[in-house]
Amino acid sequence: KLRNEIHRMGNRMHICTIELLLGTGIRVSELVDIKLKDIEISERKGLLRILGKGNAYRTIPLNKDVRKAITRYLEVRPQVESEYLCIGQRGALERNAINLILNKYGDRVNVKVTPHMLRHTLGYKLVKTTPLTTIQQILGHDHVATTNIYTLTTQQDMELALANIEW
């Protein structure tokens, strides 16, 4: 709902923001630190270099939705001296600006959302089909035990499992 609403409203920076958060699982602090030189995009692939916790770099592949969102945003990004990707009316965006953007759309569709919830959304989605060590690398966790939280069964998982039983 949230992603659809952001796309429907058409603000390319907001679309870029949601696609980066959902499509890469980066932390909000990592998002606001992205510099133009950290992004490589070609026709068929893309890479994002992230400086994560503990000053450790990781490289995250960009799927087509993220590549498209970044490319479309760069077409309208203000022509300023800043090396940062996300530019608002007063310069490079900060953490609180990302929260305000998400809250604005969350209120419109009646969904409580934080940037970290989007990170968790990706983690939970990946855990169904992806090895834990791969998710660990994507999310930049030092220990696989941190990534393991995405394997925990939710109440919704249990309800769905039991609802689909046929005798």
Say whether 67 is catalytic.
no
Q: What is the pTM of this model?
A: 0.85
Domain housing 95: 2-163
Say whether 77 is catalytic.
no
Task: Report the residue count for the chain.
Answer: 167
How far is residue 132's CA from residue 48's CA, in Å, rounded to a whole number?
Answer: 20
The closest alpha carbon to 132, from 143, 119, 121, 117, belongs to 143
Could you say which DSSP state residue 113 is in?
A: -
Say whether 125 is catalytic.
no
CATH number for the domain harbouring residue 31: 1.10.443.10
Q: Are 58 and 140 in contact (CB under 8 A)?
A: yes
How far is residue 102's CA from residue 107's CA, in Å, rounded to a whole number?
Answer: 8
Say whether 73 is catalytic.
no
The number of folded domains in the chain is 1
Say whether 119 is catalytic.
yes
Question: Which residue among 8, 35, 45, 53 is the active-site one?
Answer: 53
Say whether 57 is catalytic.
no
Express each pLDDT in 43-64 by its tens digit. 899 999 998 888 889 999 999 9
Average pLDDT over residues 38-43: 93
